[in-house]
Amino acid sequence: MRNALQGSIGIVARNGETALAADLSNLPLLIDGLTVSYGEKPAIFSIDASFAAGRMIAIVGPNGAGKSTLIKAALGIVPRLSGTVRVFGQPIEQVRGRMAYVPQRASVDWDFPARVVDVVMMGLYRTLGFLRFAGTKERSTALACLDRVGMADFAERQIGQLSGGQQQRVFLARALAQDADLYLLDEPLAGVDAATERTIMDVLKSLKTEGRTVICVHHDLSTVERYFDDVLLINVRKIAEGPVASTFTDRNLQKTYGGRLAGAHIEQLRLPVE
């Protein structure tokens, strides 16, 4: 049984186990006792989780588990019922410049009058403030980000004319333009074509190489082990967190998904994928 802490700096296991973390106060994301509810039902309940720098972390769980809610609470865009969120040791409002969000594609009306390059430049608005106009510098930054996701040719295209995968790439390019240290993505690979999936994962890996932290709500259990270093399993409550190898186990998956995953199916997930 591999030590849950082996090979990962800064992962803190609660429930009485000793903390072996490096400097806690500088974790990209530290969540303590987080509860969020819409109306009377809690969407997530008392979640403790910590995310280390330079890692790719997947958030996994069944439908309605609160994965999107967790991300949004981490970004401070849904109100917390209780608990704290610390980003790089500080409250969210003070470090927004170091966070980037890639929402689900469905959250936006794609008939909005905007070109691809306009959407990417939105990632730069924060730097422009009230008075400055977006100029050539911003435009070339946007084009560079588009190039990273393979969409440079589409800069002038209206966003409503894009395919699902292309839309996802544009969102990612916008996040790249923000030049953040912590990236939170909500199901970035849902409903995209194979080429787009490869491109997105390449970009995310390059972010990790640069020392940034990438957290994804991930929908596809069969690719968790291939793409991610750590995983957080939740179903309203936290089930488990830690490196994929030791945390993404049969038992944990059974606990997360209840009876929804047949035993054989889980076996399939655990087989090494080429």
Partner 1 sequence: MEGFLSALLLQSGYNAALVGIGAALLGIAAGGTGTFIFLRKRSLVSDAAAHATLPGICLAFMAMVAFGGDGRNLTGLMIGSAASAAVALVLVDWISRETRLPEDAAIGAVLSVFFGFGIVLMTVIQTMTSGRQAGLESFLLGSTAGMLFNEAVTIAIAGAVAGLLLLLLHRRMTLVAFDPEFAATTGVDVRSTDLATMGLVLVVTVIGLKVVGLVLIVAMLIIPAVAARFWTERVDRLVAIAAVIGGVSGYTGAAASAAYPNVPTGAIIVLISFGLFAVSLAFAPVRGVVASLYRHVRFQRQVHLRQGLLAVARGEPIFDGLTLKVLRFFGHIRADGVATLSGRAAAAKALRDEARWEVARETHQEDMSVARFDGLTAIEKVFTPDEIAELDRRIGDRIGVVA
Which residues of the shown chain bind partner 1 in the complex (CB under 8 A)?
72, 75-77, 93, 96-97, 99-101, 103, 107-109, 112-115, 118-119, 122-123, 125-126, 128, 130-131, 150-151, 153-154, 158, 163, 166, 174, 178, 194-195, 198-199
Per residue in 164-194, is it b (16+ CB within 10 Å) or e — as a string? ebbbbbbbbbbbbbbebbbbbbbbbbeebee
Rg (CA), the chain: 19
Closest distance between partner 1 and the C-beta of residue 247, in Å?
27
**204 φ, ψ (degrees, to nearest 5):** -65, -40
Task: CB nearer to partner 1: give 21 or 71.
Answer: 71
Closest distance between partner 1 and the C-beta of residue 83, in Å?
19
Closest distance between partner 1 and the C-beta of residue 35, in Å?
20
Task: CB nearer to partner 1: give 196 or 252.
Answer: 196
Nearest CA to 66 among 49, 47, 79, 83? Answer: 47
Task: CB nearer to partner 1: give 162 or 244.
Answer: 162
Cα–Cα distance, 73 to 75 (Å, whole number):
5
Closest distance between partner 1 and the C-beta of residue 112, in Å?
5
Cα–Cα distance, 50 to 28 (Å, whole number):
8
C-beta separation of 147 from 169 below 8 A = no
What are the E-state strand segments in 5-40?
A: 29-38
Closest distance between partner 1 and the C-beta of residue 40, in Å?
13
Task: CB nearer to partner 1: give 80 or 96.
Answer: 96
Task: CB nearer to partner 1: give 47 or 71.
Answer: 71
Q: Which two tokens stand for residue 89?
A: 């040791």
Task: CB nearer to partner 1: give 101 or 257.
Answer: 101
Closest distance between partner 1 and the C-beta of residue 201, in Å?
13
Cα 222 to its chain centre, rounded Å, is: 17
User: Which pairs from 13-21 meet CB under 8 Å and 24+ separation?
Assistant: 13/242, 14/48, 21/50
Task: CB nearer to partner 1: give 171 or 248.
Answer: 171
| DSSP character at residue 208 | H
Closest distance between partner 1 and the C-beta of residue 166, in Å?
7
Q: Which two tokens stand for residue 241?
A: 């967190």
C-beta separation of 152 from 146 below 8 A = yes
